[in-house]
Structure 1
């Protein structure tokens, strides 16, 4: 628990199991990309201004969760080493850890003055022990605020799922609870292209990028996080201003460019001639034989955009947004498969993968979540346990982010082009970023500012 956890008081723990037993001996094989995410964890917190269940009669809540878990055998399983020594999931119905807590302030007060340390207490995480036989890879926490608000935290090892998978797991729970059809049922496949090609083709440029990441050591500066919420009207106005240069610019292109330029100014004392940022996208729909949206696992592609220092520090925002847009649009299936091939090639003679390294870092990294938005609605804010009771805010953190920092461009509770940007930086840099005139001119609402 964090240093300021006195406002979040755990009062009970239980284990939720699936309503139907799994076939004996079933295992879930992790892909090369799953194995590579081993240094990270994922943390989501869904905030509701009223009790989303209507009451805290735990039995119907537990029933809907158990019914949901019956569709997700790997979620209730336990990590184990396979024959070659690689991680896999033993689907043994061991269950998911569920915790309940009380928060001694209202939800409005919490969002105004809580920080990153406290927010992690809404989804308390336990690192994987050396022997994970009894360790739950997924955790859920239900925290009640004074006055009726509720936060539901869910987290997991990044080896088991990416952010899209975790969002869809939570959304499936809400759909089962409302006795609705699951919009995106989970798909588990160990025969997919994500295990690499029979005749691998390596991209020299991509291989150099990943090799550099794998041997880099990130600074150990204390990291901090702040959430910026930008309104629909502001983003619409900004996009119209850069329309001449980049007519197809998305809110992600705009905000990735904005925060890259402002953060680069904070780091410009490094006297570098070029500036680089890694961009993380979901590739479920980028393959010719696209993965189902409900594919459960990791379907993330990291790539690097490098520009001249002067273009980043002093360049026009429209040009930067155009560069980001062109980079993302240029990512094709061959590049993605080359990435999978590279991770597959890291197997030793006996078939064991090389140890994972930090994927979110050490360079500045930006996550694009535009794919979870369809028109004016997002999958995240469609997670409703009762009709028309949407979350008022959803927070997300990636565990073990070090180095230059992380920018997450997420959907927002306001519909349309509104976006939420969660920024994690070295603490001294984040203080300066929160005072940046270019960002403040867009009148963002800032939430949950503080150390991790």
Structure 2
């Protein structure tokens, strides 16, 4: 986007918590899963369409909420062994204020994912730093009303749910509501499994993680681009109904993973000898463990596993069969796989007892992220659920129009993120990151277009 669509940063300020850190000098260590995510950076952007959010009005509530998040206003530092930790200081959160000369609707319709990067504060951890501000926010006001609020951080400090709930807690404070999912900052719960779980040497997780640690990125210089597909509730229901007799309880995630995996595999088969038969599936584990973690657990609770489908099913493009395999893979997951992965990550040390360098978690194989765990109970007393990212309001009855999740250092085969939609029900939004030439072809894929998705942030008017 050019001309008046340029995003202009007008000012930078620091927002501190309302009360000092207690106890002074507190530090927070990282879990094995946190350290594993060091190569990646996370950015989340919340779009609010109706009326601008007056930052000066909502800023005092951010001061208040940050009191619960000493890790966010603190600083990233290294201990004597060179491992990262968080010093809970009162240094504050850096906030950039910006403007852009288009409406939110025009931006979502015609901007590209590359344009969207201008709505975030992009700063990599300096290689030789010993002390660094890891969380950055940008508040961008659009022409005619509307605001985008982004929060960025190294992925080793937070996963998508963590960042989403921080902003949600801020909106709840604005209305003097109860903080439904307050932060849980004890990363030690990831260090040791519950007493009734024993990590198993027969699980596949350690060998899969070991293979990822040795994998080389096959296309390090290929330009990766993204686009978001928005699927309606009715389209997903109609598609699931086609194989209801064989997979009666299949989820939108199983359907959409199978859809994009088979279509991308066909694209890649045009330039590779073999059609891709394996995919990495990333799941949030907070509610998938027998001893569940609270939604508010602040850190990384993600697990990566490998699903392989035989060549015949992939080459035939049998959506129902592939969706069934995805569904059984996700629902058949056992705690032992997760804790065996944690155990293996803890053991990755050199002869001096220092942790080995991290490796790429999103890739190099095609990776699909299941974000359906963000559909959570509205509060502790009600059974009704809604997407966490669309259950927030700075202004009454004005929920986000869209929420984008960006993961940096996604290379190799590509990334598929299946997310809830503001339309709720079975509606979903899917952000796909692929090599540029492949994405151009995917945007014209007749099988995907038969579900009549709306395109967002693809650069296509």
Residue 448 of structure 1 is matched in structure 2 by 457
Does residue 233 (structure 1) correspond to residue 234 (structure 2)? The answer is yes
How do 1:355-370 residues align onto structure 2 when only pairs under 5 Å count?
355-370=357-372
CA contact (8 A) 2:275 2:315 kept: no
CA contact (8 A) 2:199 2:336 kept: no
**Mapping of residues 134-283 of structure 1, within 5 Å:** 135-195=132-192, 201-203=200-202, 205-218=204-217, 219-220=219-220, 221-268=222-269, 269-272=271-274, 275-283=277-285
CA contact (8 A) 2:78 2:131 kept: no
1:93-131 Cα distance to aligned partner (Å, 9 max, x none):
211110110111111111111111110111121111134
Match 2:93 to one of 88, 93, 96: 96
Mapped contact 1:79–1:132 kept (Cα < 8 A)? no
Partners in 2 of 1:101 and 1:52 — Cα distance?
A: 12
Q: Specify the alignment match of 1:76 in structure 2.
A: 73
1:52: how far off? Answer: 5.4
Aligned counterpart, 1:11: 10
Retained in 2: the 8 A contact 1:4–1:118? no
Partner of 1:434: 443
Shift of 1:195: 4.9
Moved more, 281-290 or 360-369: 281-290
Alignment match of 1:346 (pick from 345, 348, 360): 348
1:19-30 residue pairs with structure 2 within 5 A? 19-22=18-21, 23-30=23-30
SS at match of 1:182: coil
CA separation of 1:405/1:5 partners in 2, compared to 1, >3 Å: closer, same or farther? farther
Aligned-pair CA distance for 1:215: 1.6
Question: Residues 194-221 of structure 1: CA distance to partner in whole angstroms, max 9, x if unpaired?
Answer: 3569986434632221122112221121
Shift of 1:6: 6.2
Distance 2:360 2:73 in 1: 26
CA distance in 2, matches of 1:281, 1:148: 36
Asked if the contact 1:346/1:354 (under 8 Å) is kept, the reply is yes
Write the distance in 1 (CA, Å) between the matches of 2:87 and 2:312. 52
Q: Deviations over 1:411-435 (max 9, x none)?
A: 1111211000000000000000000
- Tell me which moved more, 313-322 or 140-149: 313-322
Cα gap change, 1:288/1:83 in structure 2, threshold over 3 Å: closer, same or farther? farther
Determine if contact 1:77/1:90 at 8 Å carries over to the other structure. yes
- The TM-score with structure 2 as length reference comes to 0.93
For residues 400-452 of structure 1, give each alpha carbon's deviation from its aligned partner in whole angstroms, at most 9, with x where no partner exists.
Answer: 1001000000011112110000000000000000000000111100011159x
Alpha-carbon contact 1:140-1:155 (below 8 Å) kept = yes
- Of 194-203 and 77-86, more deviation after overlay is shown by 194-203
Match of residue 386 from structure 1: 395
Return closer, same or farther for 1:14/1:5 CA change in 2, 3 Å cut-off: farther
- 1:324-343: per-residue Cα shift (whole Å, max 9, x none)? 00000111100100000110
Distance 2:402 2:436 in 1: 23
Q: Is the 8 A contact 1:52 1:384 kept in 2?
A: no
1:349 shift after superposition: 3.9
SS across alignment from 1:159:
helix
CA displacement 1:122-172 (0-9 Å, x = unmatched): 112111113445532111111011111111111111000011111111111
1-side partners of 2:290 and 2:191: how far apart?
A: 13
Q: Is the 8 A contact 2:287 2:373 kept in 1?
A: no
Cα distance change, pair 6–234 in 1 and its aligned pair in 2 (3 A): closer
Q: Specify the alignment match of 2:294 in structure 1.
A: 292
Equivalent residue of 1:360, what SS? coil
1:45: how far off? 0.9
- Residues in 2 aligned to 1:86 and 1:164: alpha-carbon distance in whole angstroms: 24
Distance change (3 Å), C-alpha of 1:98 and 1:134: farther
Distance 1:203 1:92 in 2: 43
Deviation at 1:279, TM superposition (A): 0.3
Offset at 1:386? 2.1
Specify every segment of 5 or more residues in structure 2 that has no aligned partner in the other structure, as ranges: 377-383
**CA-atom RMSD in angstroms:** 2.0
Instruction: State the number of aligned residues.
Output: 447
CA 1:39/1:352 → structure 2, altered by over 3 Å: closer, same or farther?
A: same
Distance in 1 between residues matched to 2:434 and 2:341, nearest whole Å: 27
> Could you tell me how far 1:313 is from its partner in structure 2?
2.6
Question: 292, 315, 318: which one pairs with 2:317?
Answer: 315
Counterpart CA distance in 1 for 2:70 and 2:216 is 36
- Which residue of the partner structure matches residue 426 of structure 2? 417
Provide the C-alpha distance between the structure 1 equivalents of 2:181 and 2:351, rounded to a whole number of angstroms: 38
Matched, 1:46 2:46: yes
